[in-house]
Structure 1
Amino acid sequence: MSDTSLTIDTILAPELTLCRVPASSKKRVLEFIAEQIHEQDESLNDVQIFNNLISRERLGSTGIGQGIAIPHCRLEGLDRVIGVLLTLEESVEFDAIDNQPVDLVFALIVPKEATSEHLELLSQLAEKFNERSFCNALRECEDARTLYERMTAASG
């Protein structure tokens, strides 16, 4: 499978789209993401994913402003890109660039030998989340299915 077909709808699974997740902190959000990925694929180690996400955050927060974060990391032994979309029940402190708490999270886990396509994907996401009306539509979702449909409908 070639990397060029990386779009939001090819990396995001309905099972990894979750609405109104209760989380008390940034750490808890990242833990939750790692646990969800492990639940979907037990060959992937949640502790390793969590540690990699945390290491990435130490380089600088992935909170891109306006209540949005795109935490991401590379993972040894991964052969595809995994996306996780969450809306949070309550905003959490994320050390974001504008110091606003975060309630919309799109995590991206990419293979260790990530390529420019993965960076392209990050900028695709950032661009989407730049549209306030799009973000508001995601925040208004009451259930995961609607959230998934809104996120993937916008892709492409």
Structure 2
Amino acid sequence: MKITDLMMNDLVIFDETIRSKNELFERLANELERTKRVTKAKKIMKDLYKREKETSTGIEDGFGIPHAKSKHVLEPTVCFIHTEKLSDYLGLDGQPIECSFAILVPSKSSDIHLDILSSLSRKLMNEGFRKELKAARSGEEVLSIINKEES
């Protein structure tokens, strides 16, 4: 399954007013509810924080992959959010997160979230891919970069 099959242009968000993990999760959850990908934004936030308590989903070079399985998710979804550097959301390298791929799947899904997580993690090992995403300024551009990487 291709990551771009789970993304929609309106789930690629550029918002430099987001300055904290809470603001990130809140914006994400509200957008998912608005686009009818989830039933309850507040429950999605709770599920994201529950997963985050296990271990941070920040990886490296300013990227994070927050993810959750939830009964409030209607269909597997991947979102990309480019924010201001978040001082309270750090990667394993100690760098603040500024680009996040959020993965949300229904709780009854098999292990699709692990397949998506694995695929994204491999792609994010490519420095050129990370640089292109950080430089992207539109949803179309982000989807094109990911599509090119998946080809």
Fold match by TM threshold 0.5: yes
Superposition pairs of residues 1-156 of structure 1, within 5 angstroms: 6-41=1-36, 44-88=39-83, 90-93=84-87, 94-156=89-151
Please state whether the residue corresponding to 1:63 is helix, strand or coil.
coil
Contact 2:70 2:106 in 1 (8 A): yes
Runs of 4+ in 1 over 6 A off after TM superposition: none
Please state whether the residue corresponding to 2:68 is helix, strand or coil.
strand
Contact 2:32 2:38 in 1 (8 A): no
Residues 73-94 of structure 1: CA distance to partner in whole angstroms, max 9, x if unpaired? 0110534211110111x21131
Q: Give the fraction of aligned pairs with identical amino acids, expressed as a percent.
A: 23
> How many residue pairs get matched?
150
Aligned-partner Cα distance in 2 for 1:117–1:153: 22
Please state whether the residue corresponding to 1:92 is helix, strand or coil.
strand
In the TM superposition, residue 43 of structure 1 has moved relative to its aligned partner by 5.6
In structure 2, the gaps of 5 or more residues are: none
Aligned CA RMSD, in angstroms, stands at 1.7
Contact 1:104 1:139 in 2 (8 A): yes
In structure 1, the gaps of 5 or more residues are: 1-5
Please state whether the residue corresponding to 1:61 is helix, strand or coil.
coil
Relative to the length of structure 1, the TM-score reads: 0.88
Report the AA paired with residue 67 of structure 2: H
